[in-house]
Amino acid sequence: MTLDKKALLTEIAQIADKYDVLGNRLRILILVILLARGRKSWNELKKEIEDLIGSPINPNTLSFHLKKLIQSELVTKIGSIENLEYEIAPGKESEIPEEIREVAKLVRG
């Protein structure tokens, strides 16, 4: 069987994209909150982040980072436009590095 180089490179690119998403502190904080507290609406997530960091967050910044997490398939949207919530994508919690899961335990209390 021959090595499918194109498929290999595609998979490597997907892995790099997935973990590159974790190179941002706000994205890690979003994951920590969702792991610790479960499903959250956009407003709930924004409020909790602001409470934790002690300052306001630009709504566009939050939307941008949520979009990146959704594109990486670590976070998913649930519900309708009127009642939209975000959560860790089903089956993806184990793909989140242990260090992030440990921090979520601290937040969970």
pLDDT more than 70, % of the chain: 92
Other beta carbons within 10 angstroms of residue 28's beta carbon come to: 20
How far apart, in whole angstroms, are the C-alpha atoms of residue 90 and residue 66?
Answer: 16
- Do 32 and 103 form a contact (C-beta atoms < 8 A)? yes
53-65 pLDDT tens trace: 889 999 999 999 9
pTM, two decimals, is 0.83
How far apart, in whole angstroms, are the C-alpha atoms of residue 107 and residue 109?
Answer: 5
49-101 pLDDT tens trace: 998 888 999 999 999 999 999 999 999 999 988 889 999 999 999 989 888 88
Q: Is the pLDDT of residue 1 over 60?
A: no
- Which CATH architecture group holds 21-108? Orthogonal Bundle (1.10)
